[in-house]
């Protein structure tokens, strides 16, 4: 899916490492290919969204309205720079050489309670722009929690402040993105740190959120359903539940004990997978857990898988990832672990090429 926008007027700008300018000229926003969940005007909140375009000439501008996210900028397939919380700026990239170029903007960070907007790519003198890169034939989706986000995965330390967690989280180095890139697939990383299927971390985190509710949305606090008519993943990987069983259930919680929590988890998770199946009748669904995780998470996921297969679903499987190296922020997996997990997914999909449905 791509779109082209004509923007009249100017965005406020300030000096920036690449080159920032103010402009009162008419800006022709280039057509873009967009990956991940965004609104119609490119407001985003989920991790790992990305924007791609093509242009001719030695320069291009990136127009932001985002004080809350960090981004990778990639030109002609090569990393160029990291933009940290660009705010309301027009960032100009110059001296790129004549001829045709591709440009890609990737969100690195996680923004649980804040949103941002990427206005678009601009080359003022190209009212007849090139078409953007086409949508990829393959699509893969990962649904999960902090492990899927890539929470603090580039950190050299296990103890991190909230700001350090933000700065060292790079969803583009998470196992989901690494897997997708290997197969040249478009991807969605629909994940939220601390979230569970029915109970969030310690039973206290993010009290107004849970995965079945957020999954329907493009923005977490906006109940408007995500609009993505062109999203038909061949593979959906679901790994969520470690937060549900992260700590013992307290007597004052709705479940009262772990047996009731497990029953609610299995019921809700099964309904969630059935919804995925109804919307994606041809997709192959992988239910995953990690070795060493709480028993309720592992056996509960087993129960969901058994419920789906006993109900006749043949496009589903259950895999277990090995124990990973938890040396990232707050004892989360680091990028080496992300690469190791990605390798397991890659080998699984290479052993089952039919899952891409001939694409």
337 flagged as catalytic = no
Q: How many CB atoms lie within 10 A of CB 359?
A: 11
Catalytic residue selected from 69, 109, 146, 155: 146
Please say whether the beta carbons of 254 and 200 come within 8 A.
no
CB 63, CB 34: distance < 8 Å: no
Q: Distance between CA 178 and CA 183 in Å, rounded?
A: 9
- Taking the C-alpha atoms of residue 259 and residue 245, their distance in angstroms, rounded to an integer, is 11
| Residue carrying structure tokens 């045709």 | 100
Rounded to 5 degrees, what are φ and ψ at 339?
A: -65, -40
| Torsion on CA atoms 21, 107, 179, 299, rounded to nearest 10 | 180
DSSP-derived 3-state class of residue 39: coil
Q: From CA 338, how far away is CA 325, in angstroms rounded?
A: 9
Cα dihedral angle (175, 181, 182, 183), rounded to 10 degrees? 120
Cα separation, 171 vs 176, whole angstroms = 8
Nearest to 238 by CA among 302, 186, 202, 289: 289
Residue among 78, 69, 74, 32 at smallest CA distance from 47: 69
Active site residues: 146
């Amino acid at each position: 899916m791509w779109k082209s926008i004509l923007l009249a007027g100017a965005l406020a700008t300030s000096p920036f490492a690449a080159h920032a300018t103010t402009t009162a000229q008419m800006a022709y926003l280039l057509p873009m290919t967009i990956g991940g969940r965004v609104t119609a005007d490119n407001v985003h909140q989920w991790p790992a969204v990305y924007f791609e375009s093509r242009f001719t000439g030695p320069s291009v501008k990136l127009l932001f309205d985002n004080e809350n996210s960090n981004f990778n900028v990639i030109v002609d397939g090569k990393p160029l720079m990291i933009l940290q919380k660009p705010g309301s700026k027009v960032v100009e990239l110059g001296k790129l050489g004549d001829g045709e170029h591709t440009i890609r903007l990737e969100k690195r960070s996680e923004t649980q309670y804040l949103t941002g907007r990427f206005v678009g790519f601009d080359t003022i003198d190209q009212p007849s722009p090139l078409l953007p890169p086409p949508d990829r034939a393959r699509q893969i989706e990962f649904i999960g929690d902090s492990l899927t986000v890539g929470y603090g995965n580039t950190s050299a330390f296990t103890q991190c402040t909230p700001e350090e967690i933000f700065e060292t989280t790079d969803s583009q180095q998470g196992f989901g993105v690494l897997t997708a890139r290997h197969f040249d697939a478009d991807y969605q990383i629909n994940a939220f740190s601390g979230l569970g299927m029915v109970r969030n971390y310690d039973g206290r985190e993010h009290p107004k959120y849970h995965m079945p509710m957020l999954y329907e949305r493009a923005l977490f606090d906006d109940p408007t359903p995500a609009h993505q008519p062109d999203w038909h993943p061949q593979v959906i990987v679901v790994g969520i539940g470690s937060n549900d069983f992260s700590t013992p259930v307290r007597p004052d919680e709705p479940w009262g004990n772990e047996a009731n929590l497990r029953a609610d988890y299995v019921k809700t998770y099964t309904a969630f997978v059935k919804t995925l199946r109804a919307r994606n009748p041809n997709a192959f669904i992988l239910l995953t857990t990690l070795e060493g995780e709480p028993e309720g998470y592992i056996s509960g996921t087993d129960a969901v898988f058994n419920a789906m297969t006993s109900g006749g679903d043949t496009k589903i499987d259950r895999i277990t990832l090995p124990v990973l190296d938890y040396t990232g922020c707050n004892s989360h997996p680091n990028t080496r672990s992300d690469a190791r997990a990605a390798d397991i997914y890659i080998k699984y999909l290479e052993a089952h090429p039919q899952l891409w449905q001939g694409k």
